[in-house]
Amino acid sequence: MHRYANPKRFLEIAQPITMWTLLGGLVLVAGGLWWGLFRAPPDYLQGESVRIIYIHVPMAWLSMAGYLSCGVAAFAALVWKHPLAEVALVALAPIGAVFSALCLLTGSLWGRPTWGTYWVWDGRLTSVLVLFFLYLGIIALARGYDDPARGAKMASVLALFGLVNLPIIKFSVEWWNTLHQPASITLEGSSIDQAMLWPLLASAAGFSFLMAAATLMRMRALIAARKRSARAARLAQTA
């Protein structure tokens, strides 16, 4: 793992991966959404409004997967002092925040025609809202210090703590009798019809690639900014 602690070696592989994940993500998302929005059948109960799942479900999965990655990065940053793990955490947090915000927004738009309300204080909805706040806390801490390295460390501590929220989100629909339905797609199989499942999986894979691409772009930008300020400090010393 420490092989890629060297920013130069990391950038060498990050550059092509960024491009391929970006392209692959765009193609998959475009294909998945086109398939889901125009070709897949409407739901017999929910009608056309079911099509929002092709965005909502990937956003929900990825906001949780993104937070898990934040937690792993925070762990690597605090325990192994891996320099790129901090960069990854700081890069990923705003993207995760956007994904969880979109998850809440699309869910709320879907809830209006289906449940008859934009928002209920149900276990699943509330815990995803808390996830969004946790992302905001990480961003605020990471940006709150004059020394960015220190901000990243503090953000890591918070990210590690916030991991307790993930099981709460996952099991909220089983622990509490809530309005939000339990998972339809599990490791054992899926209760969704094939005609809806495939476009959903395509768009989920596409959004995952886009999340990866955006994270890599931000990581590269952060590394570049760090290099620039290091060079400025060096120049100021010699001048």
Partner 1 sequence: MTLARLIRRHVRLPEMLLPVVFFLIIVSLTAFAVGPDAAILARIGPGTIWIAALLASLLPIGTLIAEDLDTGAMDRLRISGLSLELIMFARMISHWLGLAPALVAAAVLSIPLLGIDAALIPALLIGSSALAALGVIAAALTAGSRAGTAIAGVVVLPFALPVLIFGSGGSLRLTAAAALLLVAIAPFAAAASLRAAD
User: Which residues lie near partner 1 (CB under 8 A)?
Assistant: 78, 130, 133-134, 136-137, 140-141, 144-146, 150-151, 153-154, 156-158, 161-162, 165
Q: How many CA atoms lie within 13 A of 203 on its CB side?
A: 24
Q: Which is nearer to partner 1, 134 or 219 (CB)?
A: 134
Shortest reach from residue 112's CB to partner 1, in Å: 26
Write down how long the chain is: 239
Shortest reach from residue 137's CB to partner 1, in Å: 5
Our CA angle for 188, 193, 196, nearest 5°, is 110
Q: Which is nearer to partner 1, 33 or 142 (CB)?
A: 142
Q: Which is nearer to partner 1, 49 or 170 (CB)?
A: 170
Shortest reach from residue 64's CB to partner 1, in Å: 15
DSSP conformation class of 193: -
Hey, what are 31's tokens?
A: 């294909």
Q: Which of 170, 208, 200 shows the shortest CA–CA distance to 69?
A: 208
Q: Which is nearer to partner 1, 36 or 162 (CB)?
A: 162
Task: With H, G, I as helix, E, B as strand and everything else as coil, classify residue 184.
Answer: coil
Shortest reach from residue 121's CB to partner 1, in Å: 10
In 80-164, alpha helices (H): 83-115, 123-143, 148-162
